[in-house]
Amino acid sequence: MTNLQNKRVVVTGGSGFLGSHLVERLKGSGCGNVFAPAHQEIDLTNNDAIERLFAKYRPEVLIHGAAVVGGIGANRANPGRFFYENAIMGIQLIENARRHNVEKTVVLGTICAYPKFTPVPFHEEDLWNGYPEETNAPYGLAKKMMLVQCQAYREQYGMNAVFLLPVNLYGPRDNFDLQSSHVIPALIRKCVEAMEAGREEIVLWGDGSPTREFLYVDDAVDGIVLATEKYDKSEPVNLGSGMEIAIRDLAIMIAAMTGFKGNIVWDTNQPNGQPRRCLAVSKAEKEFGFKAATPFEVGLRKTIDWYIASK
């Protein structure tokens, strides 16, 4: 059991969507030494900058949540960048954590690491049974190499490094930039802006048939904190809600919740992405007591309300 209240904790990506919620939770639960250096201060692709991070903050616990991320379009436009920057950040951070004797390192992976045709629900044991979906394979594989590194360092050096696999997240403060956002914020923004402009249709990629699972950001934070406190094994663990919804049904739901009454047009010249995504979530509950608590419609309503209020 790691008592975080008495530890110096560094969260990479702490000013981002998930990271900002995680930092708030840690501070709110009495953890008095939480540090979240911004990208402007520490460029995590630069090893000298990482050395400065460890010298300045002297972390006892490291939670690596920083990533270069985006939806299908961003992944297709930046496969080289997404591979290199995610891989180099993780490799250098984990190596420095080892050399500086960090007590506990928690690395956040991605659902994109799973093979394209993984049987539903995705079990952690399925992770190596095929190649990821092509549009996000460089990103998914870069993150999966951190699992290999964590396991290798545990075996050779006895390093306490754990690897979590969060499913698609959503919630307040998500990225609503249509050039790089994921599906939920993109749908919300398209519906709201179409109503404001008086447009009678929105155009979405693919045919709407793929399925996705979503985890509300506060639930993801719960899972990460519980794993940081209680999980000390080498095997990766899924963090998800266990729900599955078709993109077509998701679009209809968000249109109704935002009040958009126009047509939804599917551009089938654009890719669908991975056919199905839904995680097996029993391992997280068994190993460290995590179970998602936020009903999907409740989380969606909070996300929509936050976006409208922030405009």
Residue 38: give its domain's CATH number.
3.40.50.720
Q: Does any domain span residue 25?
A: yes
Distances (CA, A) of 271 to 17, 24, 70, 262: 26, 36, 15, 23
Q: pLDDT tier at 159 (50, 70, 90 boundaries)?
A: very high
Residue 99's domain spans which residues?
A: 4-170+215-242+276-293
Domain count, the chain: 1
The model's pLDDT over 205-254, given as tens digits with 9 standing for 90+, comes to 999 999 999 999 999 999 999 999 999 999 999 999 999 999 999 999 99
The whole model's pTM is what?
Answer: 0.96
190 part of a folded domain: no
Position 47 in a domain: yes
Active site residues: 139
Q: What is the pLDDT of residue 27?
A: 96
DSSP E strand boundaries for 70-180: 104-108, 161-166, 168-170
Residue 96 forms part of a structural domain? yes
Give one DSSP letter per residue of 215-280, joined into a string. EEHHHHHHHHHHHHHH---SS-EEE-----EEHHHHHHHHHHHHT--SEEEEETTS---SS---B-
Q: What is the pLDDT of residues 239-296, one digit of tens each?
A: 999 999 999 999 999 999 999 999 999 999 999 989 999 999 999 999 999 999 999 9
Closest-CA residue to 303 (of 172, 168, 169): 172
Structure tokens, 143: 């993150």
DSSP-derived secondary structure letter, 203: E
In a domain, 48, yes or no: yes
Q: Is the dihedral of CA 311, 17, 227, 216 positive or negative?
A: positive
| Amino acid identity, position 81 | R
User: What is the per-residue pLDDT for 128?
Assistant: 98
Is 40 inside a domain boundary? yes
* Residue 54 lies inside a defined structural domain of this protein: yes
- In a domain, residue 206? The reply is no
